[in-house]
Amino acid sequence: MARAVDVPALVEGIRDGRRAAVARAITLVESGRTDHRAATRELLAALGARADTVRVGISGVPGVGKSTFIEALGTILTGRGLRVGVLAVDPSSVRTGGSVLGDKTRMPRLAADPLAFIRPSPSAGTLGGVARATTQAMLVLEAAGYDVVLVETVGVGQSEVTVAGMVDTFCFLTLARTGDQLQGIKKGILEIVDVIAVNKADGDRESEARVAARELSGALRMVHHRGRGWVPPVLTCSALQGTGVPEVWEQVLAHRAHLGPEGLADKRATQQLEFMWALVRDELAQRLRHSPAVASIRDEVRSAVLAGTLPATSAADRILAAYDAGAPATGPLI
């Protein structure tokens, strides 16, 4: 029989900044078990929320050097006495559901730093899972006294939009590639990004990186030409050498100053509303998956769809009707 979670003891350990307690709490908030979700609600209600933690999302094209950049930035910040938490949203292992990138091995200096805490978080194949687990893990790190939380994402795609919706500042890393002004970036990414850095601007690549930065600045002016607010700055840096990384951080702080206390509070309030709906969608998917009524017709419906005798639209209606007929009236949403 599974041992019940001692939430008061966990809260005490988190507030004392004990790493083992932080690790256990993040494991708890990532869990999909019903009893763990109930314990998570109790835990987060007791911990509350901090407004002074700096939440930064970091994304970029494959091979851009996100982990090297995060290690360089994190080391600079811990060198200033700040406590830094890193949440790396990794692709999930198909076999175990666990995280497969192993960010601690890719950030050896930061992983050994007593002021830093690195946690790979499996995405579990659902954006709702990312939103629930990562947002709640951020709250745990903030309650444990971490001043900065960096959220690394897996690449360029819908998960970036999800992560951008849970941080204060979204930073995008890219590379210099001659002849491609947008560097493979979709317009949607340009619309949600707050700071852009062209990485690997060292040696023979430095001049190419500066050209790419100018091209991106031009693209951003077109995207934001009607707005009077924050226009994302484009910088160059070399995470490997550490050059330009402090300047990227200064732009993160400048963006935070641009938002101001009221703007930051409004942004986080809006994010909480979006998070609420993400929780609802995630929980409904879980309930649908575990519904006995749905399970009773799943194989029949699957066979009919594969045989071509039942249209997908009708199959969806049958599954939802089965769920509605057997769904409980109320239940927890976390």
- What domains, with CATH codes, occur in the chain? 1-48 (1.20.5.170), 51-259 (3.40.50.300)
Among 35-49, 143-157, 180-194, 237-251, the least confident range? 180-194
Q: How far apart are CA 303 and CA 317, in angstroms?
A: 16
Least confident of 15-24, 92-101, 215-224, 296-305: 92-101
Helix (H, G, I), strand (E, B) or coil at 130: helix
Residue 210 has pLDDT above 60, yes or no: yes
Q: Is the pLDDT of residue 168 over 50?
A: yes
Of the pLDDT bands very low, low, confident and very high (cuts 50, 70, 90), residue 127 is low
Report residue 318's pLDDT band, with 50, 70 and 90 as the boundaries: very high
Q: Residue 306 is which amino acid? A: L
User: What does pTM read for this prediction?
Assistant: 0.85
334 pLDDT tier (thresholds 50, 70, 90): very low
Looking at residue 80, the DSSP 8-state letter turns out to be: T
User: Is the pLDDT score of 133 beyond 90?
Assistant: no
Residue 279: pLDDT band (50, 70, 90) is confident
CB 55 within 8 A of CB 167: yes
> What span, in angstroms and rounded, lies between the C-alpha atoms of 303 and 292?
18
pLDDT recorded at residue 332: 47
Max Cα-Cα span within the chain: 66
Distance CA 223, CA 157 (A): 19
At 234, phi and psi to the nearest 5? Answer: -120, 120
